[in-house]
A and B are shown apart, each in its own frame.
Chain A
Amino acid sequence: EDKVVQSPLSLVVHEGDTVTLNCSYEVTNFRSLLWYKQEKKAPTFLFMLTSSGIEKKSGRLSSILDKKELFSILNITATQTGDSAVYLCTTAPIREQGGKLIFGQGTELSVKP
């Protein structure tokens, strides 16, 4: 059975801290891994990773994929209260099953002033 596991499930930090969120996966027909941010509404896209070892960056957020060990990490540096959200990791399958994304449970991040 395909599964995606995120850790920790929740995290409380103070502004300025750096956090690392983890995502491991065991899925068949893997194509890409995606990170989303969810703030009390629909998820919004952050990153898509397809190749191992290539870091994706967007401002204070960065992510990397390890296809040998089957995991990804999402780093957030110099956290701000606006980073408070649930971060979701998901895997996208091969083209023939394109809508079949498997999500992890999410990591709820709370950033205190």
Chain B
Amino acid sequence: NAGVTQTPKFQVLKTGQSMTLQCAQDMNHEYMSWYRQDPGMGLRLIHYSVGAGITDQGEVPNGYNVSRSTTEDFPLRLLSAAPSQTSVYFCASSYAGVYYKEQFFGPGTRLTVL
């Protein structure tokens, strides 16, 4: 199993550009989430999904869109990049059974917006 994969690993954008961060998992997990991590602020939830076709907003959703057309993929779209979106982005997935199990994290994408 590859686990949770994210692409790209690094990205530099100019203000106003759009892009999509890719996330995929091969563990058949129902739950998937996107976080951003800024210095001294832990992980903040952007959007999450409890299954294909179902998404919801987290703490900091503004400026980001998501969709979940398949169980495996959960892309994060930046609509018009701003310097405030410079951050490290993590995607995570977890099992949705009766007994909760931990989230598995991807390696992260380091995004810089100039």
A residues near B (Cβ < 8 Å) are: 6, 9, 31-32, 34, 41-45, 48, 50, 88, 90, 92, 95-106
Contact = CB atoms under 8 A, between A and B. Distances in A.
Contacts, number: 72
A96 B108 contact: no
Interface of A is mostly: mixed
B45 A102 contact: yes
A88 B41 CA distance: 10
Interface residues of B, number: 31
A103 to B, nearest CB: 4
Contacts of A34: 102-103
Contacts of B106: 42
B58 A100 contact: yes
Contact of B33 (A45, A88, A101, A106): A101
Given A31-B100, A43-B105, A100 B43 contact: no
Contacts of B50: 96-99
Nearest to B43: A103
Contacts of B43: 43, 88, 90, 101, 103
Given A34-B102, A45-B102, A48-B102, A99 B40 contact: no
